Amino acid sequence: MGLILSIETSTKNSSVALALNGEILSIKESTNKRPSEVLHLYIQEVFENTDFSLQDLQAIAISRGPGSYTGLRIGTSAAKGLCFALDIPLIALETLDLLFEQGKNPAYDFIIPMLDARRMEVYTATYNLKNNTKTATNAKVLDQNSFKELHDKGQVLCIGTGVKKFQEVCDGPNFSFTKSLPSSREMIKLAQVKFNNKDFEDTAYFEPYYLKDFVGRKP
């Protein structure tokens, strides 16, 4: 049995899901409440309509980033604390993989998840559905020529919180755009695969994948 709690806090979507053997039991999420305000409440609430408790958990999955520095810190701290307290393993999933799972569709040749960063920059990677490959995650400054080589090769779906930026500079007919937030819902099956393979993190030393150093904003 694999009872796994998934936590996603890399964007403004505070999202928690409970799943058994890769099937969702309960989910709680909100786009207008900060993780610091609701995360532990949501963890409690996903158990309320089930016959399980925290003590039944066999693993916790966390969205490791990239994304919001503060959100990732809050989610990771909660996940690590529970893993230590319950003596269960930690599973880490890349945030862009969650957006890819949302957008995956045979109508497209390429999927490009985009997470909003500063100014005209996004955190992104390219998923090639033709040969099932993925480029390395990177921070990219968008312009009118971004991803042109993919546009010329097939249909491209851009998905995530950064697509509005790209739409402002790109008008290629082969591009489609879906504004979306990563969710714990897409973590469930990915986490179960890692659980089955015993692909766990070293909980004591695990850190979120920030990709870039934190830069504070002036009040």
> Across the strands, what pairs with 158?
112, 177
Residue 213 binned pLDDT confidence (cut-offs 50, 70, 90)? low
142 or 217, higher pLDDT: 142
Judged against a pLDDT cut of 50, whether residue 210 lies above it is answered with yes
Give me the percent of the chain exceeding a pLDDT of 90: 89
Residue 218 binned pLDDT confidence (cut-offs 50, 70, 90)? very low
Q: What is the mean pLDDT of the chain?
A: 93
Residue-wise pLDDT for 99-126, tens only, equals 999 999 999 999 999 999 988 999 999 9
**pLDDT for 125:** 97
Core vs surface per residue 132-168: b (16+ CB within 10 A) or e: eeeeebeebebeeebbeebbeeebbbbbbbbbebbee
CATH number assigned to the domain covering 3-95+182-196: 3.30.420.40
> Across the strands, what pairs with 92?
62
Residue-wise pLDDT for 185-196, tens only, equals 999 999 999 999
d(CA 5, CA 82): 10
How many residues are present in the chain? 219
In the chain, count H helices and then E strands.
Answer: 6, 12
**pLDDT for 119:** 87
Q: What is the reported pTM? A: 0.92
Residue whose token pair is 């692909």 = 199
Selection from 42, 69, 37, 36 nearest residue 183 by Cα? 42
217 or 35, higher pLDDT: 35
Instruction: Average the pLDDT over 157-176 and give the result.
Output: 94
Judged against a pLDDT cut of 80, whether residue 212 lies above it is answered with no
216 or 173, higher pLDDT: 173
Residue-wise pLDDT for 38-95, tens only, equals 999 999 999 998 999 999 999 999 999 999 999 999 999 999 999 999 999 999 999 9
Domain ranges of the chain: 3-95+182-196, 96-179
Domain 3-95+182-196 and domain 96-179 have a common topology? yes
d(CA 147, CA 198): 36
d(CA 198, CA 163): 35
**pLDDT for 49:** 83
**pLDDT for 34:** 85
**pLDDT for 171:** 79
d(CA 207, CA 79): 11
CATH architecture of 96-179: 2-Layer Sandwich (3.30)
**pLDDT for 23:** 97
